[in-house]
Structure 1
Amino acid sequence: MTARDTDHTRPSARPLEGRIALVAGATRGAGRAIARELARSGAFVWCTGRSTRSNPSDYGRGETIDETAELITSEGGQAEALVCDHLDRAQVDEVVSTIDARHGRLDILVNDIGGEAYVDWGEKFWTTDFDAEMRLFRAGLLTHLNTAHAALPLLVRESGGLHIEITDGTQDFNDTHYRESIYLDLTKTAVSRLAFGLGHELAEAGGTAVAVTPGWLRSEMMLELFDTSEETWSADALDPERSVPPADFAISETPHLLGRTVAALAADPDRHRFNTRTLSTHELGRVYGISDIDGSLPDAWAFIGAKEAGTPVEASDYR
């Protein structure tokens, strides 16, 4: 058991009691953590994704959507898993119909499906395998459009609905930095822009749309990619004898900081003040007095900015 799996007893305060949430892409990483934290705060969480025990991930991951729901119920929460390929409009429609039939409402929609596993680094756009690389764009953006289009009629049935896009990078960062992949760069900036546009349209129905970005994320995939663990990531990042993880990984955060800030935002009766914005976990953590499970509140984007400006930085000063 890793640190990410601890401290999940049922909290005494459950501000989302009675709320209905859909987390699209809840199989692993950020989506799983968001689903768990929403449930810990009292929401009934519908967890969707493609990976099941009988039909595992197409990029070699072992986590399943069933496990996410089981984790939630083992922690005293309420959740159900629905297998759904969010590129298939009929499957997304079926998910929304199921939620409608059970509850007649949807209060929180989180679009978390990523696609970063499909990035092919180091290729110029015109030399890439277009069809292969478009998997990222379809997984990371078209799934969000499909899900929003199908679910928003249910979300706006009652005033106060919240739509959250999970992205990568603050607006300031993405405005001035290129992600070294056309497909990734377009996908992540478009996700933030989707929240911006939907915020304008949802406002008329009393709803709110925002995008939320973590910093360096210590997901299962990242820990394995960098051949490190939840117990050793900090020492490994600062070890001059190692090429991975990169030194900047010392400013990383667990997916549960993202989950906790999303849950706090959903419980905030004044959340509309953030409408259309892209928010970082650090900013939301400061607003709501929330920290990561180790008690820190990493500010990866300020750390990166200071480093690029030539300011001497220590990761510990930004945690």
Structure 2
Amino acid sequence: MKQTLQGKIALVAGATRGCGRAIAVELGRAGATVYVTGRSTRAQRSEVNRPETIEDTADLVTEAGGTGIAVRVDHLEPAEVAALVARIDEEQGRLDVLVNDVWGGEGFVEWGKPLWEHSLEGGMRLLALGLHTHIITSHAALPLLVRHPGGLVVEVTDGTDEFNRNYRDSFFYDLTKTSVSRIALAQSAELKPHGGTAVVVTPGFLRSELMLDHFGITEQNWRDGAAKAPHFILSETPTYLGLGVAALAGDPDRNRWTGRSLSSAGLAQEYGLTDVDGSVPDIWRYFADHGTAEDGPVDPTGYR
């Protein structure tokens, strides 16, 4: 990738693993200085209890050609987020790209339960982790971002706006993921007078570290996961979305997308990208054409 982001400063909130890590790495590959944040460090794991760390992500950013800076931040704590932004201001004097990818709510979703049967405590924790974190981070970071015209905010969710018209089988999950889209739309309106852009992006069926472990597979034999979930044959690596976000950040005409919902596949089509294996998976188009029922093998022809 060309060094289109040389001299640009990015903050990827929630960059410990998955799409956050991949986006940070690809922004670095494009030349950016990237602050990577999260709660999992080499010294202490978060409640997610995974081995990935923000220091590992920062090292990957630097190895890719950028400058990775790891900062341990709990994005539910306004004081910690404010201190992070103050540090970026002191060290860089600007912020060009904000990526809100904080999540960590997987363990609190109770699929298939109506609201009144779902743990209220767990549901509210899910909302806090996946929604309040984004609001707190934008509230602190946007004053620095709007200091220079042309800033970009990327909200990361699950599902395109069109797909999320359907109920996502969990009240709290549904509310969180659809609300992130609304946060992006609101920010697009508020950034307009400052020449800024805000979008919401989504991967498809993601082969994250957590998902690979869930299926008991590796990236090398990932197709075996389709035996448990047929749609997994249309899955993608986190890098696919990372490449798309980096291309978007380097697009001088990116404002044409402001307020829009963009998928990894849509970004790939727009910017001529592929996943790491050269394929162009598009599960959202498959769902639009065939529905989401898993009643037999999925034919990936024409969808990757």
Alignment TM-score > 0.5, same fold: yes
State the TM-score, normalizing by the size of structure 1: 0.91
Which amino acid is the alignment partner of residue 64 of structure 1?
T
- Residue 63 in structure 1 maps to residue 52 in structure 2: yes
Could you list the per-position Cα deviations for residues 125-184 of structure 1 after superposition, in whole angstroms to 9, with x for gaps in the alignment?
Answer: 112221122111101000000000000000000100000000111111111x11111111
Structure 2 vs 1, CA of residues 251 and 158 (structure 1 numbering), >3 Å: closer, same or farther? same
Which amino acid is the alignment partner of residue 113 of structure 1?
V
On the 8 A contact 1:303/1:313 being kept in 2, the answer is: no
Q: Distance in 2 between matches of 1:164 and 1:20?
A: 14
- Residue 32 in structure 1 maps to residue 21 in structure 2: yes
On the 8 A contact 1:37/1:259 being kept in 2, the answer is: yes
Greater alpha carbon shift after TM alignment, 103-112 vs 125-134: 125-134
Q: Distance in 2 between matches of 1:19 and 1:77?
A: 10
* SS at structure 2 position matched to 1:315: coil
Greater alpha carbon shift after TM alignment, 51-60 vs 155-164: 51-60
- The corresponding residue for 1:5 is none
Q: Distance in 1 between matches of 2:105 and 2:39?
A: 16
Identity, in percent, stands at 52
- The corresponding residue for 2:263 is 280
- The corresponding residue for 1:145 is 135
- Residue 97 in structure 1 maps to residue 82 in structure 2: no
- The corresponding residue for 1:161 is 151
Matching of residues 208-287 of structure 1 within 5 Å: 208-237=197-226, 239=227, 244=228, 246-287=229-270
Instruction: Provide the alpha-carbon RMSD of the alignment.
Output: 1.4
Greater alpha carbon shift after TM alignment, 69-78 vs 185-194: 69-78
On the 8 A contact 1:22/1:45 being kept in 2, the answer is: yes
Which amino acid is the alignment partner of residue 157 of structure 2?
T
Q: Distance in 1 between matches of 2:173 and 2:260?
A: 20
Which amino acid is the alignment partner of residue 315 of structure 1?
P
Q: Distance in 2 between matches of 1:257 and 1:247?
A: 20
Matching of residues 101-112 of structure 1 within 5 Å: 101-112=90-101
Could you list the per-position Cα deviations for residues 298-319 of structure 1 after superposition, in whole angstroms to 9, with x for gaps in the alignment?
Answer: 1110111222299x96113200
Find the partner of 2:180 among 182, 191, 199.
191
Unaligned runs of 5+ in 1: 1-10
Q: Distance in 1 between matches of 2:95 and 2:48?
A: 31
Which amino acid is the alignment partner of residue 269 of structure 1?
P
- The corresponding residue for 1:6 is none
State the TM-score, normalizing by the size of structure 2: 0.95
Find the partner of 1:178 among 167, 171, 194.
167
